């Protein structure tokens, strides 16, 4: 039994459909991120789960209960918003206690519950302060505390870190992962920040245009993107995507683009000759040797590595991730190659599905800070 289940859920606002037939089964205790560009339907999905919006059709369940007709207060969930929405005139302790008070928990029991939550979030020293006397990160912890204090079945978080500066966001990411590990509760986390999704989640639901594009663990989303949208959306710098066509001669498939001919990685049986797109991550591009001639256009030095953009052919660009030892100069001619074991082939079009078999050779995924569970 999934902890949270969306079954063919549609949400329309008048003539506009924000969520199209969403099927998503989230396991008990899982940390799932809803990830996608602005307007893709993340918040709408979360608000339907919270009971703040009602699906136009389809069914949402939490545990074994269909919750479509239940009010937010009857769903055993807690939600943390982007704006912390703390009550400015109340102390930290009063803010955390508020949901208990609203639910009629007797005053005699509230104190201990607030104390326990404050300890969990290291807020004990701050309980008598007002929100304006707290830093952004502390305010966000109080907002979390207000959600945690009731010990709900499912936590819903909508971009809770987006108002914090980069350093604090990094710190809070680790805190949230640690909190999730300790509580073991199901968490659904909305973000458009792929680093957050990659580093915190058990699985990521990638959405675009109100449709689920892929639902898989972070490394799988990175190594075996289901389609061209996911391939281009996940990863920084972005995957190189080169339009061309695939042809079959004898038993072998080749990818052709102007000035570029390559053997394809092993393709699925569903592949057909015709327009297609080659995808290669910057770490799969070799600079310094190879069959392709390019001209270095831009070099970004990040300290531990260099990001090199080279022009190949008339109007193609190839971005590579190379060691910092060799300094490349703009204007320099460079030989490049593509590590075909790391390449993908996608069907033509913005959402073309992946046509190659996934995961022949492990590709180094971005550093994952998620603590062992």
Ligand X SMILES: Nc1ncnc2c1ncn2[C@@H]1O[C@H](COP(=O)(O)OP(=O)(O)OP(=O)(O)O)[C@@H](O)[C@H]1O
Give me the residues that bind ligand X (CB under 6 A), please.
13, 16, 18, 36, 38-44, 192
Which CB, 43 or 140, lies closer to Mg ion?
Answer: 43
CA–CA distance from 28 to each of 5, 32, 42, 68, 71 (Å)?
11, 11, 20, 19, 22
Report in angstroms the alpha-carbon separations of 360 from 191, 253, 255, 262, 352.
Answer: 30, 17, 18, 17, 21
Cα 29 to Cα 183: distance, rounded to the nearest angstrom: 9
Q: With binding defined as CB under 5 A, does residue 43 bind Mg ion?
A: yes
Q: Is residue 213 part of the contact set for Mg ion (CB under 5 A)?
A: no
Helix (H) or strand (E) run with residue 169 in it? helix 166-183
- Partner in contact with 185, chosen from Mg ion, ligand X, none, beta carbon below 5 to 8 Å by kind: none
DSSP reduced 3-state for 107: helix
Does residue 296 contact residue 328 with C-beta atoms inside 8 Å? Answer: yes
Nearest CB to ligand X, comparing residues 17 and 124: 17
Q: Measured from the CB of residue 164, what is the shortest distance to Mg ion in angstroms?
A: 17
Nearer to Mg ion, 43 or 240 (CB): 43
The answer to whether 61 contacts Mg ion (rule: CB under 5 A) is no
* Stretch near Mg ion under the rule CB under 5 A, chosen from 43-51, 98-106, 133-141, 210-218: 43-51
Instruction: Please state the closest distance from residue 365 (CB atom) to Mg ion, in A.
Output: 26
**Beta carbon nearer to ligand X, 100 or 143:** 143
The CA distance from 34 to 19, in Å, is 13
**By CB under 5 A, which span of 41-49, 102-110, 146-154, 235-243 interacts with Mg ion?**
41-49
Residue among 43 and 95 whose Cβ is closer to Mg ion: 43
Say if CB 45 and CB 19 are below 8 A apart. yes
Measured from the CB of residue 16, what is the shortest distance to ligand X in angstroms?
6
Ramachandran angles phi, psi of 57, nearest 5°:
-155, 170
Pick one of Mg ion, ligand X, none as the site partner of residue 192 (Cβ within 5 to 8 A by kind): ligand X
């Amino acid at each position: 039994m999934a902890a949270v289940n969306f079954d063919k859920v549609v949400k329309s606002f008048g003539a506009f459909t924000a969520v199209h037939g969403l099927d998503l089964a989230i396991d008990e205790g899982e940390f799932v991120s809803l990830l996608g560009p602005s307007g893709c339907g993340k918040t709408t999905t979360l608000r339907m789960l919270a009971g703040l919006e009602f699906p136009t059709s389809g069914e949402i369940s939490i545990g074994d209960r269909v919750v479509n007709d239940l009010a937010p207060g009857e769903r055993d969930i807690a939600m943390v918003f982007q704006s912390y929405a703390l009550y400015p005139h109340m102390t930290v302790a009063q803010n955390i206690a508020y949901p208990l008070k609203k639910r009629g928990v007797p005053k005699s029991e509230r104190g201990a519950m607030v104390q326990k939550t404050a300890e969990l979030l290291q807020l004990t020293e701050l309980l008598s302060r007002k929100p304006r006397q707290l830093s952004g990160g502390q305010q966000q912890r109080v907002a979390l505390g207000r959600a945690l204090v009731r010990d709900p079945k499912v936590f819903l978080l909508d971009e809770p870190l987006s108002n914090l500066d980069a350093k604090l966001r990094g710190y809070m990411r680790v805190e949230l992962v640690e909190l999730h590990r300790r509580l073991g509760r199901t968490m659904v986390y909305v973000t458009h920040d792929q680093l957050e999704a990659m580093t915190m989640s058990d699985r990521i639901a990638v959405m675009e245009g109100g449709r689920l594009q892929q639902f898989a663990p972070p490394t799988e989303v990175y190594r075996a993107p289901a389609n061209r949208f996911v391939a281009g959306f996940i990863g920084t710098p972005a995957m190189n995507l080169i339009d061309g066509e695939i042809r079959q001669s004898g038993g072998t498939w080749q990818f052709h683009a102007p000035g570029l001919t390559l053997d394809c990685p092993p393709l699925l049986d569903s592949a057909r000759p015709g327009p297609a797109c080659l995808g290669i991550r910057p770490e799969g591009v070799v600079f310094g040797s190879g069959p392709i001639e390019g001209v270095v256009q831009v070099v970004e030095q990040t300290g531990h590595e260099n990001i090199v953009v080279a022009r190949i052919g008339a109007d193609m660009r190839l971005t590579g991730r190379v060691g910092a030892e060799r300094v490349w100069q703009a204007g320099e001619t460079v030989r490049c190659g593509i590590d075909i074991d790391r390449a993908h082939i996608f069907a033509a079009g913005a959402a073309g599905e992946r046509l190659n078999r996934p995961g022949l050779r492990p590709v180094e995924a971005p550093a994952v800070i998620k603590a062992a569970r």
